[in-house]
Amino acid sequence: MQLDYLATVLLSSLSSASILLIATLGLAVVYGLMGVINLAHGEFLMVGAYSALTATQIGLPYPLAIPFAVAMTMLIGAIVELLIIQRLYGRIFDTMLATWGLGMVFNQGAVLLFGTVSPGIGMPQWNFSIGAYSLAVYPIAMIFVAIVMLTFIYVLMTKTVYGMKARASIQEPQMAQAIGIDSTRVNTMTFAIGCGLAGFAGAILLPIIPATPSMGLFFAVKGFLAVVVAGPVALTGTAATALGLGGGASITASYMSSVFGDVFFFLATALLLWLYPMGISSRWRRKL
């Protein structure tokens, strides 16, 4: 085993774990701060990707297409929260079913609007090499994007008034309302942010994962697993599970095959749930 091969495998595995984390963070925020599992998360990612794609097609440069996608998904997310999620507070499985149905509507809507095949986005291909192996820059850059996203969410949740209200609302809902926090509005904001993060993920990953109506599903499934295995401490827990499961699956995939990678992911998930039936962070003392 050459050192350069090992470094390549590690780096690209870290990269794919980061991609998974990017796609999952919005879900973790919504689950961690609202206790809601948004089964339409993957479709919001898809909406973000199509928004960015459409923006570039009408001539917007790619860096500007990303904020456009975030704004679009946040707007749609806020509307969905007001119309659907808000009526179902405290009914987690009903929320799941409703967002599942919503996801199907989005999915089918995208098929009708854009067709099932979409053009990719033209991006220059930069490469760099480690020893005898060449790696594309953009996927590796996702490691930094993931770190930036994590830091952003951490700061948002700990240093801003909104973040503190949101954390207060999930930890002690009645107390939060008693001291005058309008938890309904906070929740609308949280859901919109969660969807915005999904939109950001869809847009930033567009050069790697082309927009298709069902693109979200792949990430969403692994994302749900990462979040659910993470348990109550959604943010830190999800970072840990996404890196562990995603990285492990990617390493398995590079030594065996992609099917084995998936099998590793699902089996490791089942094993973790067996060992920690309420999620790995159920006994952690930190709360974010």
Partner 1 sequence: MASEAVGAIKMFQKLHKNAGLVFPTLATILALSMAGFLDPYLAFVATSWVIFGLLGLSLDVIWGRGGLLSLAQTAFYGLGGYFGAVIAINLAPSTGMTLIWALPSAAIFGAIIAAALGYVIFFSRMGALQSTILSYTFTLLLWTVTQTFRLDVGTAVIGGDNGLSNIPGVILGFGPDADRLGPNGAFAATVAVSACVYFFTRWLMRSNFGKLVDCIRIDIEKTELLGYDIRKVQVLNFAYSGAIAGIAGAMFALWANYLNPSIFSVQEALLVPIYVLVGGLGTLSGAFLGALAIGGLSFWLGGGAAGGQTTLILGAVLVLLVLFLQNGFLGALDKIWRLYLPDPNDAARNAGAVKIDTDVLEDILKDATAHAGPAKSLSTDEAFKQFGGVIPVNKVTRDFVPGQPYALIGPNGAGKSSFLKTCVGIYRPEGGSILLDDDDITKAPIFDRVHKGMGVKNQKPQVFGEITVQENLWIAAYARTKNSANADKVSQRILGMLGMDGQSAVQASALSHGQQQWLDIGMVLCLAPRVVLLDEPAAGMTNEETRELSLLVRTLAKHTTVVVVEHDMEFVRTLEGHVTVLHQGQLFAEGDIDTLRANDAVLDVYLGRGEHV
Residues that bind partner 1 (CB under 8 A): 37, 84, 87-88, 92-94, 96-98, 100-105, 107-109, 112, 217, 221, 224-225, 228-229, 259, 262-263, 266, 269-270, 273-275, 277-279, 285
CB of 37 to partner 1, least distance (A): 7
Nearer to partner 1, 25 or 98 (CB): 98
Give the helix ranges, DSSP H, for the chain. 3-34, 41-57, 62-83, 92-114, 137-159, 161-171, 173-178, 183-204, 215-230, 234-241, 247-255, 258-275
Closest to partner 1 by CB, 216 vs 247, is: 216
- Tell me how far apart the alpha carbons of residues 278 and 160 are, in angstroms, rounded to a whole number: 29
The least CB distance from residue 104 to partner 1, in Å, is 3
The minimum distance between CB 38 and partner 1, in angstroms, equals 12
Least gap, CB of 288 to partner 1 (angstroms): 15
Q: Among residues 14 and 225, whose Cβ is nearest to partner 1?
A: 225
Q: Which residue lies nearer to partner 1 by CB, 136 or 217?
A: 217
Q: Select 181 or 221, whichever has its Cβ closest to partner 1.
A: 221
* 268 residue type, one letter: A
Distance of closest approach, residue 265 Cβ to partner 1, in angstroms:
9
281 and 236 in contact (C-beta within 8 Å)? yes
Task: For residues 22 and 148, give the distance between their C-alpha atoms in angstroms, rounded to a whole number.
Answer: 10
Angle at 206 between CA 129 and CA 118, to 5 degrees: 120
Query: What sign does the CA torsion over 150, 155, 156, 162 have?
Result: positive
Cβ proximity to partner 1, 162 vs 266, nearer residue: 266
Which tokens hold the place of 168?
């207060």
Tell me which residue of 194, 192, 246, 195 sits closest to 219, measured CA to CA: 246
- Helix or strand (DSSP H, E) at 127: strand 127-130
Residue 189 C-beta: closest distance to partner 1, Å: 22
Nearer to partner 1, 5 or 266 (CB): 266
Residues 6 or more apart from 73 whose CB is under 8 A from it? 44, 47, 48, 51, 195, 196, 198, 199, 200, 202
**Which DSSP state fits 207?**
T
Closest separation in Å from C-beta 220 to partner 1: 10
